[in-house]
């Protein structure tokens, strides 16, 4: 979509030079960081790549954002598109003015961009939400009466928890993609074949990064008359997602993990359940006509398209940003991005292969295909302590904890019993289990230098220990003396 199509169809495009340009080339130049990257395979420019942070040991270093599975930095192009549109901001679906019309057209064209990005089928709906969590809760509110939901225990809490408790069957963690398919097959074969059913599955684990056999699971679901929703929160930023090819009924993802941190998300897929469900939010925008009934009550006719579940003033900036990210990733060439990311993950794994203290968490085995998300524990270390040292001594941001996937991480750590301890105290003794893990995650904007620094930091911390002392404050591990 270009500004020409973003302009209200009934009026001329804005004449100012600052008109939103969805097709402009990224304005940022590639930094020195990336000079050593493979030709034609440079990271995409993102905001924050030049931000420096203080080290507790002295000096400053550029921040290495290696917690992209939580939230990814905005693409420069997304930021440029948002900035170009911002002066033209107006209400959506409710104004006669020029900017309202422009904003409405921009909002609706973003829907088409997302539908293209996801390779949706004709007739699929794209509903804009706040996030993946919001999208899955919306779908949960639209389940037909008596719908049984099947979900693996390995899911992120956003996919595990929205469903009515009594209607959920939680499936045991499989130890291979094949076992996942067999487990689902058995569970669906045992169900009441007459009632509706939904399977919810992730495309890529937010803990191990491993890819799930989505197409095969969809085939099993459909063979048993069930529907399937794909949680693509971790897949969409790293891998093309084709609703048509995977044959999933719905897909959910978040803008903030797709380099567009402006508060929007998506639920896309089959219109039927959504069209007949009660609106997710009741209010203006979702209703086509509202009147008074003869008995004094309120009579309402709801929209039957996506607007039914988008009551209230929509987040047009967030949606515009999300569409911009979809376009940028597509235009950059997903194959190139995937190849680059795979090279970086291989590098992490290979260069730490001779550090036996590092144990990678994996459900499907070391060689399983994965996106750029890796979790690990380090023998002799409390994971919070390790993550704090990476931050304070190397300027590397990772995440420690259970990553909102408690059952999965506990299973991978070997059960609930283990060492927690204060982060500054002696850490888990050799052979003792850690109660949480460290997660490192990359994105399309990650320069090689961040990965190199991470590998060096892990090697040095394991070999030499932390150079600083740390203590636990309010449950967080922090350097004893705050960085200047």
Which positions lie near ligand PLP, rule CB under 6 A? 69, 131-133, 156, 158-159, 202, 206, 231, 233-234, 254, 256, 404
Query: For residues 201 and 227, is the Cβ–Cβ distance under 8 A?
Result: no
Task: Give the single-character DSSP code of 174.
Answer: P
Based on CB atoms, which residue is closest to ligand PLP, 399 or 453?
399
Based on CB atoms, which residue is closest to ligand PLP, 105 or 134?
134
Based on CB atoms, which residue is closest to ligand PLP, 7 or 442?
442
Task: Give the single-character DSSP code of 327.
Answer: H
Instruction: Report the alpha-carbon distance of residue 134 to residue 234 in Å, rounded.
Output: 15
Angle 406-409-415 from CA coordinates, rounded to 5°: 95
Based on CB atoms, which residue is closest to ligand PLP, 156 or 450?
156
Out of 326, 404, 423, 477, the active site residue is 404
Give the number of C-alpha atoms closer than 13 A to the C-alpha of residue 409, restricted to the C-beta side: 24
Q: In whole angstroms, how close is the CB of 354 to ligand PLP at the nearest point?
A: 30
Q: In whole angstroms, how close is the CB of 136 to ligand PLP at the nearest point?
A: 7
Q: What ranges make up the beta strands (E) of 178-286? A: 197-202, 227-231, 250-254, 265-269
Give the CA radius of gyration of the chain. 24
Based on CB atoms, which residue is closest to ligand PLP, 319 or 457?
319
69 CB-contact burial (10 Å; exposed 0-12 / middle 13-18 / buried 19+) = buried
Q: Using N-to-C axis directions, what is the helix angle for 98-117 and 316-332, rounded to 10°? A: 40
Residue 440: which of 347, 338, 333 has the closest Cα? 347
Based on CB atoms, which residue is closest to ligand PLP, 239 or 275?
239
Q: In whole angstroms, how close is the CB of 8 to ligand PLP at the nearest point?
A: 31
326 catalytic per annotation:
no
Instruction: Report the alpha-carbon distance of residue 432 to residue 167 in Å, rounded.
Output: 38
Query: For residues 196 and 147, is the Cβ–Cβ distance under 8 A?
Result: yes
Which residues contact residue 178 at a Cβ distance below 8 angstroms, ignoring those fewer than 6 apart? 213
Enumerate the β-bridge partners of residue 65: 397
The residues carrying an active-site annotation are 404
């Amino acid at each position: 979509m270009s500004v020409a199509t973003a302009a209200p169809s009934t009026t001329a495009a804005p004449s100012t030079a600052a008109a939103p340009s969805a097709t402009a080339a990224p304005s940022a130049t590639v930094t020195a960081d990336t000079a050593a990257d493979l030709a034609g395979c440079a990271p995409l420019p993102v905001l924050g790549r030049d931000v420096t942070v203080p080290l507790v040991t002295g000096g400053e270093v550029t921040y290495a954002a290696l917690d992209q599975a939580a939230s990814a930095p905005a693409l420069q192009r997304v930021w440029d598109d948002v900035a170009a549109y911002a002066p033209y901001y107006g209400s959506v679906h409710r104004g006669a003015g020029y900017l309202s019309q422009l904003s409405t057209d921009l909002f609706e064209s973003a829907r088409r961009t997302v539908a293209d990005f996801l390779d949706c089928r004709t007739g699929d709906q794209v509903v804009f939400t706040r996030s993946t969590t919001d999208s899955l809760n919306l779908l949960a509110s639209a389940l037909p009466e008596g719908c049984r939901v099947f979900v693996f225990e390995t899911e992120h809490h956003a996919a595990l928890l929205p469903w009515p408790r009594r209607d959920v069957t939680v499936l045991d963690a499989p130890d291979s993609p094949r076992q996942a398919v067999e487990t689902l097959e058995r569970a669906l074969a045992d169900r009441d074949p007459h009632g509706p059913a939904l399977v919810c599955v992730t495309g890529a684990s937010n803990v191990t990064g491993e890819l799930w056999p989505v197409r095969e699971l969809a085939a099993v679901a459909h063979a048993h008359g069930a529907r399937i929703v794909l949680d693509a929160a971790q897949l969409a930023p790293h891998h093309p997602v084709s609703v048509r090819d995977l044959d999933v009924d719905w897909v959910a993802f978040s803008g903030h993990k797709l380099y567009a941190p402006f508060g929007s998300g998506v639920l896309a897929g089959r219109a039927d359940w959504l069209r007949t469900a009660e609106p997710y939010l009741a209010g203006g925008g979702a209703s086509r006509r509202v009147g008074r009934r003869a008995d004094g009550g309120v009579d309402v006719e709801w929209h039957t398209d996506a607007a039914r579940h988008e009551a209230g003033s929509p987040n047009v900036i967030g949606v515009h940003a999300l569409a911009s990210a979809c376009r940028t990733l597509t235009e950059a060439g997903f194959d190139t991005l995937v190849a680059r990311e795979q090279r970086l993950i291989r590098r992490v794994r290979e260069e730490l292969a001779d550090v036996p203290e590092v144990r990678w968490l994996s459900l499907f085995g070391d060689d399983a295909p994965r996106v750029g998300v890796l979790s690990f524990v380090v023998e002799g270390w409390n994971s919070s302590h390790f993550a704090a040292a990476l931050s304070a001594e190397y300027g590397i941001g990772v995440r420690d904890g259970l990553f909102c996937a408690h059952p999965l991480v506990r299973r991978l750590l070997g059960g609930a019993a283990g060492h927690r301890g204060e982060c500054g105290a002696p850490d888990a003794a050799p052979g003792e289990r850690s109660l949480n893990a460290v997660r490192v995650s990359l994105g399309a904007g990650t320069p090689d230098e961040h990965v190199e620094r991470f590998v060096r930091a892990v090697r040095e911390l394991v070999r030499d220990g932390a150079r600083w002392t740390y203590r636990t404050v309010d449950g967080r591990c922090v350097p004893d003396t705050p960085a200047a």
